[in-house]
Chain A
């Protein structure tokens, strides 16, 4: 019988960046100390400065630090923690890690290893979904991985077909097959990528829905086995199968669809004996929805749900792991207003999104009602090439979707990040696009309208004069508008 944990006094965080900061904040509110398990590359980060204790668990490469199960558990034990919060990414959906944490006498803040195994494996999850009567995208999830057999199955399903890594995520090991001519090559390539990225060449096939919307439901299993959903998010704006902009609630659902999809999400989570925060992802096309996958962890986009419902999902996770969070039907909330999240990536949008690394200079996130920022770095910290390019998330809330879009554009324009380039100009163009404004975007939105790098606009006269004045000022020269306007530097601006 599993021993019910007592109240935690110290929690280890097996993660980095903005989610580590987010967990530290929740722990502080609950009066819990934190132990940050970090790599050598992250000693100049916000989480490092905020945590009660820090323990270095290895060098920069993730395989030797953030993905090293033993190092994380030893670090948590050495730090005197009673539990480990895995955040998202890294080991958050690793059933072996969840199991090892429990075996070490610690509490894993998340679902059980059994639930991660049954719902986290994409193929197994679909089998479970069949039992729960959930609609699935037509496809093939069989054991016969011979290329010839997979081609036969692809022909049966009908092109276009998408081939995906069974153990995959984040777009790796995923290929779109448009015709039989390219099937063999793309299936073999997906198998190679799957083997390289996830240690297993197993793939499965799905009919590619070319006008689909990506809708997901936040689910939460409480301490005694009740599962409820916390409404929906829309995450259709994706590049290379990675989300860029998310919002709650979806502008695409009718009341009836929302009710049916919410019930389906709860049904599969209940069957998987789910505890804690998770997400059931669906594709929606022509009024029909299909199960895509279940993410057995907190999601990057959880803040938009928190904003429209006034809940704290991270605190709820911790309280559930302590055995003290139980859904209160009287507290079931109705989503209020609209929330949007933009992921800020350290990349150059004018050069096709190439990563931008380096020392962060001045950083400023403008304050105001309905604005929230989640970030892991401050001025003086270094953005390294070792990890994910996401450096911050900007979240806004307003009374309705048009106002939330307007607010987000303003907030992005007023945000200042010096030292690395960011995708902020790219996000502003997306938010201003008529398809996004109308809420009619599909998962092909980016490839349809933003396939090419966006163009950097020429500097106007004011910008040139201000830049020249700034350069003169930086060099300690006397500055004036007249001097600036004649400076030879004015024409040397560029995107680096």
Chain B
């Protein structure tokens, strides 16, 4: 749909579309997204930075290697598993240091976007 807002007497135009709970907006040569879920702030960026105690699938794809076991000590930034999607391999890393609490996927498993794959028990400060 076309969208228009008037700010200080100037009209600004863009395009937008609500798709499966996400609002897609294109304005001034840029496309961005916004979570349209009522009252909810953005979902966690799965497996991508921040300080999450969970390594989640950043994309739908296949788990090809699991590099850690339950109970193993982890350093922040350490590789924990490898996924494959669209013919490319991606290594997922732990955001924080700690101990592997649980691994909830298996090699060869096709996982959905956002699925929790490895849970980490943070190390005490």
A residues with a Cβ closer than 8 A to B are 170, 240, 346-347, 351-352, 354-359, 361-362, 364, 385-389, 410, 413-414, 416-419, 421-422, 424-425, 456, 459, 461-463, 465-467, 469-471, 473-474, 479, 481, 484-485, 489, 492-496
The answer to the question of B1 belonging to the interface, with a C-beta cut-off of 8 Å to chain A, is yes
In the complex, A473→B43 CA distance in Å? 23
Residue numbers in B under 8 Å from A470 (CB-CB)? 1, 3, 14, 16, 23, 25
Given A354-B48, A424-B31, A489-B34, 15 more contacts at CB 8 Å?
A385-B85, A386-B86, A419-B24, A462-B7, A462-B27, A463-B25, A463-B27, A466-B14, A467-B34, A469-B4, A471-B36, A493-B34, A494-B42, A495-B45, A496-B33
Cα–Cα, bound, A105→B107 (Å)? 43
Known: A465-B5, A484-B5. A355 touches B29 (CB 8 A): no
Q: What is the chain B residue whose CB lies nearest that of A386?
A: B86
**A352 x B48 contact (CB < 8 A):** yes
Min CB distance B63 to A, Å, is: 12
Report chain A residues within 8 Å CB of B36. 471, 474, 489
Determine which of A354, A385, A473, A489 lies in contact with B3 in the assembled complex, contact meaning CB atoms within 8 Å: A473
Does A418 lie within 8 Å of B58, measured CB to CB? no
Q: What 1/0 mask marks residues of chain B from 37 to 60 whose CB sits below 8 Å from any chain A CB?
A: 000011101001000000000111
Task: List chain B residues, Cβ under 8 A from A417.
Answer: 31
Q: Which residues does chain A contribute within 8 Å of B31, judged by CB atoms?
A: 416-418, 422, 424
Q: Which chain B residues border A386 with CB–CB below 8 Å?
A: 86
The answer to whether B59 and A473 have CB atoms under 8 Å apart is no
Knowing A462-B5, A462-B12, A469-B3, the reply to whether A356 touches B59 (Cβ < 8 A) is yes
Q: Is the CB of A354 within 8 A of B29?
A: no
How near does chain B come to A12, taking the closest CB pair, in angstroms? 23
Task: Chain A residues near B23: list those with CB within 8 A.
Answer: 467, 470-471, 474
Contact residues, B9-24 vs A (CB, 8 A): 12, 14-20, 22-24
B34 touches which of A359, A485, A492 (Cβ 8 Å):
A492
CA distance A355 to B28 in the complex (A): 25
A359/B35 contact (C-beta < 8 A), A389-B88, A463-B28 known: no
Interface extent on B, as a size class? 35 or more
Q: Which residue of A lies closest to B84 (CB)?
A: A385
Name 30 A/B residue pairs within 8 A (Cβ), A-sorted.
A346-B86, A354-B48, A355-B61, A358-B19, A362-B15, A385-B86, A387-B87, A410-B29, A416-B15, A419-B17, A419-B19, A424-B31, A462-B27, A462-B28, A463-B27, A465-B5, A467-B25, A467-B32, A473-B1, A474-B18, A474-B23, A479-B3, A489-B34, A489-B36, A492-B41, A492-B42, A494-B33, A494-B42, A496-B22, A496-B43
A355 to B23, CA, bound (A): 19
CA of A457 to CA of B8 in the docked complex: distance in angstroms? 23
List CB contacts (< 8 Å) of B66-87 with chain A. Answer: 85-87
B7 touches A388 (CB 8 A): no
Hey, which chain B residues are within 8 Å of A357, CB to CB? 59-60, 85-86, 113
Interface, chain B (partner A; CB < 8 A): 1, 3-7, 12, 14-20, 22-36, 41-43, 45, 48, 58-61, 85-88, 90, 113
Compute how far the CA of A381 lies from the CA of B46 in the bound complex, rounded to whole angstroms: 25
| A contact residues around B20 at 8 Å (CB) | 358-359
A361 engages B19 (CB within 8 Å) = yes
Q: Once the chains bind, are A413 and B30 in contact (CB under 8 Å)? A: yes
A386 vs B61: C-alpha distance when bound (angstroms): 8
The answer to whether A418 touches B34, judged by C-beta atoms less than 8 angstroms apart, is: no
Assuming A355-B61, A459-B32, is B26 touching A416 (CB within 8 A)? yes
Q: Report which of B4, B25, B61 forms a contact with A385, defined as CB distance below 8 A.
A: B61
Task: Assess whether A418 is in contact with B5, with CB atoms less than 8 Å apart.
Answer: no
A-side contacts of B90, CB under 8 Å: 354
Given the complex of chains A and B, what is the CA–CA distance between A465 and B5 in angstroms? 7
Contacts of A352 in B (CB 8 A): 48
Shortest distance from the beta carbon of A494 to any chain B beta carbon, whole Å: 4
Supposing A470-B1, A481-B6, A492-B35 touch, asked if A389 and B30 sit within 8 A by C-beta, the answer is no
A489–B17 CA distance with the chains assembled, in angstroms: 15
Measured CA separation A386–B15 after assembly (Å): 30
Q: For A364, list chain B residues within 8 Å (CB).
A: 15
Q: How far is the CA of A493 from the CA of B35 in the complex (A)?
A: 6
Contact of B19 among A359, A481, A493 (CB under 8 A): A359
How far apart are the CA atoms of A347 and B61 in the complex, in Å? Answer: 13
Which 8 interchain pairs have the tightest Cβ spacing?
A: A413-B29, A470-B16, A418-B24, A494-B42, A389-B86, A474-B18, A493-B34, A354-B58
Judge whether B30 and A473 touch: CB under 8 Å: no
User: In the bound complex, how far is the Cα of B1 from the Cα of A495, in angstroms?
Assistant: 20
| Contact, CB under 8 Å: A354 / B59 | yes
List of A residues within 8 angstroms of B4 by Cβ: 469
B22 CB, nearest partner CB in chain A, Å: 6
B12: nearest residue on chain A (CB-CB)?
A462
A316 CB to closest chain B CB (Å) equals 29
Cα(A473)–Cα(B14), bound, Å: 12
